[in-house]
Structure 1
Amino acid sequence: MKKAGITVALLMLMFLSYPMVVLAQQNVTEAAIKVLPKTLRVSLTFPGSEQDSVIFKTINEAGQPDYHKNISQLEASIKNSKQLVVKQLNEQEWVVFNNKQKFTLTYTVTSPKKTFMGEKEGENFHPTLFEDFVFAWGNFLLVPHDKVLSSQKVKLTVYAKAYPKFFVSAKTFPSFNDFVNVLLIGGDVRHYENRLIGISIHYIMHGSFAFPDTAFIRAVSKVLEAQIRYMGINIQRQPLLVTLTEGNADNSGGTVVRNAISVYPDKSKPLEANKYDIIRLIAHENFHLWNGQDAIASDPATPEGYYKWFSEGFTEYYANLTLYREHMYSNEDFIDWVNQAIRKYESNPYSLTATPERMKTEYWTNSSVRNVAYNRGALLALLFDLKIKQMTDGHKSLDDLMQMMMKKSREKPFVDSDIIASLQELTQQDWSKFYADHVLGTTPLPFKQVFDDAQLLSATGAQAVFDLGFSTELGGLGLNDVVASVAVGSSAEKAGMLAGDVLKGFSFKWDNVNDDAVFIVERQGKRTKLIYRPVKQTRILQLAETENVTGIQILRNGPQQ
């Protein structure tokens, strides 16, 4: 989901509705945001810089590079409102010539969106600025590319009298790099507050759903409490902000930033639809408070995609494991999830080749590679869990590994060797070959061997798996991508797709073998609609769903004390 590479530091939530005041302090950036219907007016006052000029850049979140389209009326001034020279270097960069003086940068933020989700790919990550509703992550901020200014504390004041209710995820921030993770939300929203294990949780909801607010709050509370129990420590400083906004059948998901969790599910689905996929989304995003953020943080010098198999894959495993442990999933449900994950693994052409090294450069540009991080990473977590239990006679589990990684991350961000050392310390056995082969390398995951060792029955047979049947020149899937090759005998070939076709539109659901995919392709200046079922038959190992009903419970039960 979105903001997979954002770090977590835990902040305070507060309700703000008072005039904007800027108080100058040494080594503190004063931020003031005036929130008006359809507009944000941002004012950033920086202490003196060590440089004669400061470059500001927009943020590229979730692979979306066009946040600069929201920025206008950018100006800079010093004391007595004397204007400074500001030069735009390119679409995403501006330079302010401040001559090492304290200065104030002001600009306006607008948004072209007509709905929260937007009408174009990625628009849901842009600010939502309506007459009756505002929702904006900090990616509307211009970031100073100056080590001194970006590392200084930020104090925020918000003026939001245009909205009857307004919330912001913090009042102060350790640095500007933390400030970009602020969340602003207000307007026509429903607000509830409850306490969970000493934490104040604010639920902010906007829109209508196929379930009551109270059912959502009960289910979320159950998940949050469970994951705190699994990790043995509560890293959530109060209060925690949980937002629920409308998604749709084609665009839904979630985000976690600092102490704010946001989900935007398909509003037409009941809470238990598709085996509680809405609550599974909450379970995924909440677990990021431990994994992929400051609690278990990877080496910042390593490009973001390299450790996505861990930060996203292990988090995806815990999302499903949480629902299983808390009896929202039955034994059969959890086995079905494992089998679906194996089918996805076997049908994705990048499952073996999308190593961490490859993910460093292709995670955001190739959707199939990105899917590998989630799916193969979740399967690695499953295999790790089963192997740890088998090696320790059930006395340890993946929970222990995650807790160990948290302790080590307090001293320094982790690298591969830290994971290997933790596994070996936990089990007193050598993991170096397994890690080299199946995490860093291209050796197929050893499902049968690990399942046999765990006494889980499995068998290989014909299965229907998802298969678009073609590849593109860039390797991903986007508008105007050119079809590079079409698999012989595939559904795509039978529907008439050809190499050289240009994708002008498409509608399908990843890993859905039950519904048709629709593609609009352009060929020799003419557009054609192709409709086909994206599926193929292949032999795949699967867990036996009935015979394993008892055995799979070794994962439901925690470590033996």
Structure 2
Amino acid sequence: MIRPLLFILLFISSYIFSQNKISYKVYYDENLEQNGLKIKVDYTQKKSSETTEFYYRNENWGEKDLFKSVIILKEDNPGISFETKPDNDEIKVRHKNSRKVSFVYHIKQDFKDPNHRIFNRPKVKDHFFHVMGKNLFIVPKTFTEMPDDHEFEFSIEWIGFPADFKIHNTFASQIKKQKIKTVLWEGFYHSLFVGGDYRIYDFKIHDKPVYFAVRDEWNNGFSDDFLFSNLKKAVQSQRDFWKDHDQDYFTVIMSSTVSQKDSLFKGYSTNGSAIKNAFMIQGTNNPFNNKNSYLYLLHHELMHDWIGNRIKNQHEELNYWFSEGFTDYYTYKNRLRIKDISSVEWLKLFNEEVIKSHWKNPQRNIPNYKIKDEFWKSRNVEKVPYRRGSIFAFWLDNQIMIKSGHKKSLDDLMQELLKTCTEKKLKFTDELFLDLVQKYLDKDLSYFFQKHILSGEDIDLTNEKWIDGFQFKTTDDIPQLQTDKNKEVKYIL
């Protein structure tokens, strides 16, 4: 009796898990730009039916009408019909009555190059492709209805791609048969898949691989050595700071939006986004390439692997004062810590890019609750949590150093916050943060926090207490940090 029961339990377990698995075959084509990436999807659903609904995101990260990138051809799908509903992010597939569903679609670039304003639409050319996971792979709609922490198994086979056509993504490098077990939204759909003429470099930290994938020939000193060596330094320093070496795979992927050696486009535009196991950099490639902007972006986005990803916001935009502001603060502090910039350069950057930029922003006093609705609509509002949070982080760092006699700093609080959030599986909230601050300052900071972070009133920097050697003076109604040249400022512990 035990053996049949065991068999039934194993069968039920296998049957249930089959609903969490999906397979894709991605085919190479010599005319990728014309025909797109051909993808065959195979899925076994719970019950036999003649109609299965699949999900495809029509709007993603500022890009709209992404269904224009999806091509479904009758000749690829005999006996199957499709009904697309972009407004519902839905593709309805009508097929013969069966549990198994199999069909073919193509992902094709739907805009003309060059375009320095497009970052997140699928890019598919004969010699490379660059597509977000959410806009490359269609999933059953039932996947989107599962809890956020529910894991699925995604199998991907890359078929017919030449040996020199690199296959690289946020889960593996140069693997033609992939099995990816992860959640949907923060995993499979929070990813990037690239291929083609990318150059791939790697190094290890504590025997864990870190990859750098870059394509194009970059101008103005952006050599592979400059890009890769600074990446190594940034990753090593940040993992050492957090005392965190657990990540088994990580990659940085760098691609150009527009590449030209002349000065036709007189500007430099770059964009970075932290994604699953990675971050991606995209930007214009021209004579205006700016090394300092690259280094800032590198350190800022890498820091998001902890602040924002592992220490995850409970209330997203309402917590941006922390996830963007404290990330911004540590972007400058970490660069100073590893001597990427001198103390003189740090002082100038912090005064100009943080304090002065904030004071000149007409929206700097906007209440925090309004940021939620206005963040994606106004560039001025977008910048408020970065600068407000960064100034608050600097203030708090100083207060902890003063209180502890330089035995502790904000660094200790941040490391404890990471440990608390990961071990207890908590998301970041204002209340969690203030409880931790009280432990370090031995006082309740609620009123100060309400006044300056939530209500948006300026901190009176000239009259606050600072560590020995720091002081603020007002110039043209803007406070500026000054250091005492006769004293050694103990800022980096």
TM-score (norm 1): 0.71
In structure 1, the residue matched to 2:323 is: 311
Match of 2:133? Answer: 138
User: After alignment, is 31-40 or 422-431 more displaced?
Assistant: 31-40
Map of 1:369 onto structure 2: 381
Q: Partner of 1:197 in structure 2? A: 206
* Residue deviations 1:462-503 (CA, integer Å, cap 9, x gap): 2xxxxxxxxxxxxxxxxxxxxxxxxxxxxxxxxxxxxxxxxx
* Pairwise CA distance, 1:107: 2.4
* Alignment partners' CA distance in 1, 2:41 and 2:396: 47
Distance (Å, rounded) in 2 between the aligned partners of 1:253 and 1:549: 40
Match of 2:294 in 1: 278
Paired with 2:365 and 2:452, the residues of 1 have a C-alpha distance of 9
Task: Report SS of the residue matched to 1:54.
Answer: strand
Distance 1:138 1:216, change over 3 A: same
1:379-390 equivalent positions in 2, closer than 5 A? 379-390=391-402
Query: Which one of 244, 251, 256 corresponds to residue 269 of structure 2?
Result: 251
Aligned-pair CA distance for 1:57: 4.0
- RMSD after superposition: 3.1
Q: Which whole-Å CA distance do the structure 2 matches of 1:73 and 1:419 have between them?
A: 49
- Relative to structure 1, the CA distance from residue 208 to residue 184 in structure 2 (aligned partners, 3 Å threshold; closer, same or farther) is same
Distance 1:452 1:367 in 2: 31
The alpha carbon displacement at 1:362 in A equals: 1.9
Deviations for 1:276-319, whole angstroms, at most 9, x for unmatched residues?
321221111111111111x11122xx3x3222221122112111
Q: Secondary structure at the match of 1:457?
A: strand
Q: 2:194 aligns with which of 185, 190, 210?
A: 185
Does 2:332 match 1:396? no
The residue aligned with 1:119 is 115
> Which of 123, 126, 136 is residue 128 of structure 1 equivalent to?
123
Instruction: Check 1:85–1:338 CA distance in 2 against 1; reply closer, same or farther (3 A cut).
Output: closer
Length, aligned pairs only = 443
Q: CA deviation digits over 1:62-114, x for unaligned, max 9? A: 33333222122178x9xx97536535263744345688944345422111344
Structure 1 position 421, deviation (Å): 0.9
SS in 2 for 1:217: helix
Matched letter for residue 108 of structure 2? T
The aligned runs of 1:426-465 (5 Å cut-off) are 426-450=440-464, 452=466, 455-462=469-476
Matching residue of 2:478 = 540
Given candidates 233, 258, 262, the residue that maps to 1:222 is 233
Q: Deviations over 1:382-435 (max 9, x none)?
A: 222222222222122222222222122222212111111111123322211122
Distance 1:101 1:160 in 2: 26
Offset from partner CA, 1:38-72 (integer Å, 9 cap, x none): 21223343442589763624164333333222122
> Equivalent residue for 1:554?
490
Structure 1 CA distance for aligned equivalents of residues 72 and 127 of structure 2: 24
**2:262 is aligned with 1:242:** no
Does the CA-based 8 Å contact 2:205-2:236 persist in structure 1? Answer: yes
Runs (4+) off by over 6 Å: 97-100
Indicate yes or no: 2:182 matched with 1:167.
Answer: no
Counterparts of 1:260-271 in structure 2, within 5 Å, are 260-268=278-286
Inter-partner Cα distance in structure 1 for 2:288 and 2:208: 28
- Give 2:313's aligned residue: 298
Q: Distance in 2 between matches of 1:100 and 1:364?
A: 44
Offset at residue 179 of structure 1 (A): 1.0
Secondary structure at the counterpart of residue 62 of structure 1: coil
Whole-Å separation in 1 of the counterparts to 2:111 and 2:82: 32
- Which one of the candidate residues 342, 349, 352 is aligned to 2:362? 349
Identity of aligned residues (%): 21
| CA distance in 2: counterparts of 1:354 and 1:201, whole angstroms | 40
Give distance in 2, aligned partners of 1:548 and 1:345: 26
Give 3-state SS (helix, strand or coil) of 1:222's partner. helix
Provide, for residues 166-200 of structure 1, a one-character-per-residue CA deviation record: whole Å limited to 9, x for no partner.
21332303233221123222212222222233222
- 1:119 maps to amino acid: N
Query: C-alpha offsets along residues 134-193 of structure 1, whole Å, 9 cap, x if unaligned?
Result: 122213144554324984513231325345222133230323322112322221222222
1:31 aligns with 2:31: no
Distance 1:95 1:348, change over 3 A: farther
Q: Which has the higher contact order (CA 8 A, sep 6+)?
A: 1
**1:120 to 1:243, Cα distance in 2 relative to 1, 3 A:** closer
Q: Relative to structure 1, is the Cα distance of residues 200 and 88 closer, same or farther in structure 2, using a 3 angstrom cutoff?
A: same
Residues 7-64 of structure 1 show CA distances to partners (whole Å, capped at 9, x for unaligned) of xxxxxxxxxxxxxxxxx94531223333542212233434425897636241643333
Gap regions ≥5 residues in structure 2: 1-16, 172-177, 259-266
What amino acid maps onto 1:94 in structure 2? I
Q: Which amino acid aligns with 1:153?
A: F
Q: Give CA-to-partner distance per residue, 1:106-143, whole Å, 9 cap, x none.
A: 4221113444xx5263x121122111121222131445
Give distance in 2, aligned partners of 1:74 and 1:309.
Answer: 47
Q: Is the 8 A contact 1:401 1:426 kept in 2?
A: yes
Equivalent AA in structure 2 for residue 176 of structure 1:
L
Structure 1 residues 425 and 204: CA distance shift in structure 2, 3 A: same
Taking the aligned partners of 1:100 and 1:161, their CA distance within structure 2 comes to: 30
Q: How does 1:58-73 map to 2 (within 5 A)?
A: 58=57, 60-73=59-72
Bigger helix fraction: 2
CA distance in 2, matches of 1:549, 1:33: 65
> Which stretches in structure 1 are left out of the alignment for 5+ residues?
1-23, 463-538
SS at match of 1:90: helix
Going from structure 1 to structure 2, the CA distance change for 1:331 and 1:156 (only over 3 Å counts) comes to same
* One-letter amino acid of the structure 2 residue matched with residue 458 of structure 1: F
Deviations 1:220-264 (A, max 9, x none): 1111111111112224223x2222323563421222212222223
Superposed, 1:47-66 pairs within 5 Å as: 47-48=44-45, 54=53, 56-58=55-57, 60-66=59-65
Alignment partners' CA distance in 1, 2:24 and 2:409:
45
Contact kept? 2:332, 2:350, Cα under 8 Å: no
The code of the aligned residue for 2:120 comes to: F
The one-letter code matched in structure 1 to 2:115 is E
Query: Matched residues in 1 for 2:104 and 2:411: separation?
Result: 47
Amino acid at match of 2:338: E
* 1:353-374: CA deviation from partner (whole Å, max 9, x where unpaired): 141x222222212221111122
